[in-house]
Structure formats: C-alpha cells, structure tokens
Structure 1
C-alpha cells in the first residue's frame, strides 16, 4: 500500500515539474514535423538532380547518334545527313587524270566543275526554317509569291565555286576575268572551311613498287557526307526566280 502511494506521489511530482517547465519538454522532445520536412526536401533535391543527369545524358546520346560530327548549329539539311566511305583519287605522275575534274582544259572540264554547284546554289526555305538559322536571312520580294521568300545557300556549293575560281586563276590565258579580289576572298574562305571541318583521315606511308621508296599515299579512305543527298535537297528547294 505504501509503495503504491509513493509511486502516485512521484508521478504527481513529475507532472508538476513538467507543467512548471513547458519549454524544457519541447527542448527534450525533438519535433517530428521538422525532421519529416527535412527528409522531404532532401528527397526532392535528389530526385531533381537525378532527373537533370538523366535528361542531360539523354540529350548528349541523342545528339551523338543523329549527328556524329557534332553539327551544333542548326541546318535545314541536318536530318538528311548520311555518311559513306570514299577513297580519294590521287592526281600525280602515275595517274594524272583520274576523274572528270582533272582533265586538260576544255569546255567539258568547265561543265564538269560548274555542274558541281551551278544548279544547286540558291535555295528557298519557309519562314519556319529561316527563324531557326544561326544567322538572319531577310525576306526577299518574289514574283512567285506575294509573301516573299527566304533564300539561303549551303556553303559547300559556295566553297566549290571558290575552288573553281582558283582553278581558273591558274590559267589566265583561258579565264582572263578572274579578279585578284575574288581570288583572295576564295583562298581565305577555303582556308577557314578546311580548318573548320578539319579532316582527320590519316595519310599513310607505303613502299612504291617501281622505286622501292617509302612515300605518302594520298588515295586513302575518308569518312564523307553523302554529297548527292545535299544536291538532291538543293534541287528540291531551288529558287524559283
């Protein structure tokens, strides 16, 4: 009986002590709501970080699959780019005229060179494409449509025109009208294009059968964009006037 009374008395003292120090009770008992909130914030941050990493890797993987040459600027032909292996023709003492563009001066030679770019030079694109270009192309009045047209040129055709201009400059007796200004423009344009694309195909050194000398071999395999595909696109979008 005395033990029960003592236990009741000690319990009463404990309750009175708690009533006298309510703040102490709050301090001694950690807030479950605070810890729950903290856990939620950590979970949200981890999920956000995981989503960011996932989408970043997905974008990088998609870009590498579709555009293995890292075409980072928009081009209207980006989605049709195809790649093929082409072995270059080497024009040297053993094989001076391996293709139509390495023949002696003639009207046929001129036609072969101009056929690379003349029919493909200027293209028309809708406003939806024009707005995505890295550089602005302005609306041009047109006799075909009252709304006007947006015109572009794939730079490969400009570079081929420049290369043909330099070829002509080597033969002033046949092409007397190639100006020095035009030559300088084309040389620097081709320099920048070559540096920009930086062909990393590897020249090799092999023993020549006729001399036994070790010399560089230029007729090697290259990874190339399908040039015919680009010509087809340019024809489909050829300027109408």
Structure 2
C-alpha cells in the first residue's frame, strides 16, 4: 500500500514538472534556458515550416497562373469557334471568327461581285445568288426548345421552315438599295396604298439594321488622323474586325437549305400552294431569277391574294 502511494506521489510530481517545462518552453523569455541541442531542433523545425510554406505559396501561385492561362486561352478559342449562349441551328464548328479589314468602297478594289452602284442584271444576279440558300430546315428539337413547334411550318422532311437572321439583314440592305433606284425597280408605279406599305417596310428595315449594328456592338478601335485635303480629322477605318468566316458558314447553310418551290413542299392551310408561284411580286421583273423570299410576294387583301411590295 505504501509503495502504491509513493508511486502516485512520484507520478504527480512528474506531471507537475512536465507542465512546468511545457509552459516555460512556450514563452520566448525562457528560450535562453533551453539546452543548445533543443534550440537547434527548434530553429530547424521553424526553418522547415518556412520552407514548406514558401514551396506551397509558389505552387499555389503557379497553379493559379495555369488556371487563368487555360481559362483565357479557352475563352479565346471559344470566341474563334462558335461561342454563343443562345440557341442557333448552326453547328458551332461552322461559326469561325477571323480578323478582317473591311473595304470602304466595293467598286475600288476590283470586286468580282458587286451589290450596289448603278442597277444592272449583274447586280441583280449577285443579290439573287446571295439569297440562294437562305431558306433552311430547322431541327424539330430546337423548335421545341424554343417553344415554336406549335406555330412553326413543318416541311415534308420533318424539319421546320426557317432561316438565319443574317439573311434578313441582307434582305433589308437589298430593300434599301431598291429604294435608292425606284425607277429601275418599278417603285414609281406603286399605288398610294402600295407606296405606304413600301415606306413602312423600308422604315422597318432601317430600324432592324440599327438594332443589328447596336446588337453586335463592334468595339474595333477607330483612330483619327489628319488629311491634306480637309480641315477636320478623318477616321482610319482599316483596323481588323472580328468577323464570321462567311465561306465556312455557307458550308453549313447550303446542305441545310430547302427548295420551297418543290411541288407540295410548302402548302398554306388556306390558300394551298398557289401563292408559291408568285415568288417575288410582279413588280420585280428586273430581279434576276426571281427567288422566294419569306417576307416578299403576295399579300392578302380582303381575303384574296394580291401583289405585295418588292422584297
């Protein structure tokens, strides 16, 4: 029994001594009382901690730089190929961005195809060829996702009649070009009601083109410079723009286009197929190879088909 009490007493003394030593070792004031080998171990331990922290910091910085670099490069890559957050029927692989300097006048650089200038059959054919593949078949899945399948015009192959918006903007440019040449395109022969409709259509096109330009928000830099032929500064318009590669886009458009003039391909639920034969209105006789444009051709007046403004 006495031995047990002595053991407990010695244990209590040992615990008290250990706690005392631990308390002293924590304070910096007691470091001088430590033996030299303990000081060396403590110094080595702190150096190891600092070295580990430094290595970890360098690794974290390098990792962060890598993530930022990969994210930036991925964003640039996606911008070059099909970066959109809204739905489009076009495969992203066919939406390729490239730098392009825009010419200020089409008739000063020997362009093979022209769309403006003095009206001619050549210009009319150029416009016609531009719209040749504009009518496309839209996938039923996309129509459903857009909640437009219930109102869409389904074609015999199961797709839905549609187009991509760039063709509407081009159509509006063509419409404005016609407005600049009313005699050539028969606009002078329009009745009062038709002229009012034409002006309304032209105003619509001006508005839509303004919306399209502001929607794209081209932030290409425009710098100013002096010219020896005028007092005011002039703009240098030769900076490269980020442009969709048109030829690449057409590689998707062409195989997905639909010929709406095929027999029984486009049938109006009320007027049948007779309206398709109108193509463009009778006023557009100078338009080469009359094409079917979605907002061009006959209109309904008092429940009967009639001629609409030229598209």
The TM-score range, normalised by the shorter chain, is 0.5 to 0.7
The 1:124–1:158 alpha-carbon spacing in structure 2 relative to 1, beyond 3 Å, is: same
Partner of 2:148: 136
Match of 1:170 in 2: 180
Is this contact kept in 1: 2:154–2:160, CA < 8 A?
no
Deviations 1:60-95 (CA, angstroms, capped at 9, x unpaired): 975653235852102122232112222211139xx7
| Aligned-pair Cα RMSD in Å | 3.4
1:65 alignment counterpart: 77
Q: Structure 1 pair 228/186, CA: closer, same or farther in 2 (3 Å)?
A: same
C-alpha separation between the residues in 2 aligned to 1:169 and 1:194?
20
Partner of residue 79, structure 1: 93
Q: TM-score, normalised by structure 2?
A: 0.50
Cα distance per residue 1:28-51 (max 9 Å; x no partner): xxxxxxxxxxxxxxxxxxxxxxxx
Q: 1:174 to 1:112 in 2, by over 3 A?
A: same
Written as runs of structure 1 = structure 2, the 5 A alignment for 1:1-241 is: 3-4=2-3, 65-67=77-79, 70-77=83-90, 78-91=92-105, 99=111, 100-116=114-130, 118-132=131-145, 134=146, 136-138=148-150, 139-142=152-155, 144-145=156-157, 148-175=158-185, 176=187, 179-208=198-227, 211=229, 214-241=233-260
Deviations 1:179-236 (A, max 9, x none): 0121121111111111111111122223436x37642133442221011222221111
- Contact 2:94/2:251 (<8 A) preserved: no
Unaligned regions of 5+ residues in structure 2, if any?
10-67, 261-311
Q: Is the 8 A contact 1:83 1:225 kept in 2?
A: yes
Q: 1:141 to 1:129 in 2, by over 3 A?
A: closer
Residues 96 and 79 of structure 1: is their aligned pair in 2 closer, same or farther, counting only changes over 3 Å?
A: closer
SS in structure 1 of the partner of residue 161 of structure 2: strand
* TM-score, normalised via structure 1 length: 0.63
